[in-house]
Amino acid sequence: MLFSSLIIFGAACLVILFISQITRRRARLPPGPRGWPIMGNLHELLCKHPWKEYARWAKEYNSDIVSLHIPGVTFVILNSEEIVQDLFVKHAPIYSDRPHVKLFDMLNLTPRIFPFQNHNERWRNARKTFTLHVARENSSNTRLHQLTASRRLILRLIGTRDPGYDVRLAAGDYILSAMYGIPPHEQEEFVARANETVSLALELSFKGFLITIFPFLAHLPSWCPGSGLAEKMNRLVKHLDAMMRVPFQAVQADMATGRLKPSVTSRYLSSLEDYANTPLEELDYMADVFGIAYSAGADTVGALSNSFVLAMLLYPEVQQKAHAALDAVLRGRFPDFSDYEKIPYIDAIVQEVLRWNPVAPLGLLHASKEEDCYKDYVIPKGAICIANVWAMLHNEERYGPSVDEFRPERFLNTDEALDLSRANSDGAFGFGRRKCPGASIAKEYLWILFATILSAYDIVDGTDKDGLALDCSKIEYASALISVPPEFNCRFRLRSGVTKAMIIEALSEFIAIHIWAHSCRMHEHSGIPLVDLRFEQCGEDRECGQGPDSQLGFNRLRASIAILAAIQTVFLLLMCISFLHQMWKRHYEGGSGYTGLPIRMPRIRVMLNDTAYIDVPRSSFFRKPGKASNLRVHEEGAEGSADDVEKLLNSREPAD
């Protein structure tokens, strides 16, 4: 009986495989490697660094579009930007969906994880809301958060033992401040929670991929090797709730108590026409949208920041050129956004960091809504389309030779200006309608972070996790959805002429400006403190940090601080003069003088004869004659008059 069942099962598998192969031939799919029976090309999909393997196939089959197949699923790999633009941009209505993820359905997470939702009306409304508030923040408030976060980082880097952690923390610093208004001293808990959540999600991503292909794996008993998904899945849900809902609820609590801080979330809540009657489901959904943006942004930007540090260690000549470019413009100060796009070499470094080892080498997967024809090929409905971002950013025809090396010069013209025809590494942020809405913010943050670090430090003494010197040929990024650099250690050495006091002063100045700018944006709206990102004093309706009116405001702030400092200095000087005057009266004129300090003056005993004497304070020897009436003559059994003392003192010279 068992043998007959096995025969029937085997025959059914062969029939399914035969039908799938016939269908595949008829469909004229893009070329690709032949798969194994039943399993198809599963082993190619799970290979190490698949983006490099897919690029190799493009050369082998002389086609920038290739395909893989496993039972029930077709994968289409796009290895050129031209094809990606044709499909994801020009045919966006067909290719803007996401693949169905079985694991998310099991956890009821599909409606909550914004980047993995299909391109529907709810997704479009959420993206519109997010983009509206982020775009307005980007033009004003976010730059202040980015600037202060970068300056707090260079202060933390003095003597740090874990620069990688500090650099990642800086990414969370500005995002938490901008998204939720969370102050720096409360951020480490949130950053640690986000890192743990992302790590757990990446750990489950492989198993989730297998469950999508083979759903029966989700129902394996707990004693079966490789199972135990339930416990990790429950942990992931709890972590996601804590990461996405807790900061949002903290902003809601601040709103209830009237202590609303300027942030993206507070702007959204204040913009609601009837906040009190807004459905809880809508608020929870936007909490998830903002939470995913925070976690994904902190993770990817943190990885790119560490990739920059690694590049500076591996290519010290690039670091030297960057120092020279910064020194020529900054002349001893730290950079701010008035220098943005005015130092082409730093702009080129940002572009090269995005290109060199993209943080998402395969981007996020797209899915076709319907069958489509492209050139001579058919892309079936439900096909999973993968944009090989790594292959596009390592195209020698566009980026020149040595694409595996870190060379910012590839983005510069012969006159050292930025080459706009090449300076387009936006593929690192996605394509078409599913492009990351925070791409411009991320690039601005990377620019100010890189420029600030390089203006303060020499990055030296790079070693791997085993303590050996770094070797370019042995550097291997992680083979995962988020490709992070390997562990390494280094030292941040203050540059010549840069001191800790200078860093503290620069940070303090911008914290003061930050606080003042926030105070200029607060006004009352229906009894709720609302963050208004425009200066109310401006003659025109200019945004914070833009135009001559706002610059005048900054100048007035600096002038006010200088006046207060001058007043304080004069007050302290007057106090010192008063104190010295009172002490002079006490010691020179014999008055009661300043009695605030318990000073005991030493005395000198002067013998008048064998039995009579007077005790004279030491300072009395420098008094003018006639000022010693308070002195008495002491003698056994009697006291003399002051006249005898006057005669004695008047006969002395001050020099004695």
In a 10 Å sphere around its CB, with 0-12 CB exposed, 13-18 middle and 19+ buried, how is residue 368 labelled? buried
Rounded to whole angstroms, the Cα distance separating 600 from 501 reads 41
Helix (H) or strand (E) holding 462: strand 457-464
Structure tokens at 449: 């972070």
Helical axes 439-456 vs 344-356, angle rounded to 10°: 120
Which amino acid is located at 231 in the chain? E
Counted residue by residue, the chain has a size of: 656
Q: Is 436 annotated as a binding residue?
A: yes
Contact predicate 369/94, CB 8 Å? yes
Put residue 461 in one of left, alpha, beta given phi > 0 → left and psi -120 to 50 → alpha. left
Structure tokens at 319: 């670091």
User: In angstroms, what CA-CA distances link 214 with 50, 66, 118?
Assistant: 21, 23, 22
Structure tokens at 12: 């059914």
User: In 3D, which of 50, 116, 31 has the Cα closest to residue 390?
Assistant: 50
The per-residue b/e assignment along 445-479, b for 16 or more CB within 10 angstroms, e otherwise, is bbbbbbbbbbbbbbbeebeeeeeeebeeeebebee
Within 368-438, residue ranges assigned H as helices are 389-393, 396-399
Rounded to whole angstroms, the Cα distance separating 544 from 521 reads 9
Beta strand extents in 8-95 (DSSP E only): 65-70, 73-78
What are the binding residues?
436
What are the binding residues for heme?
436
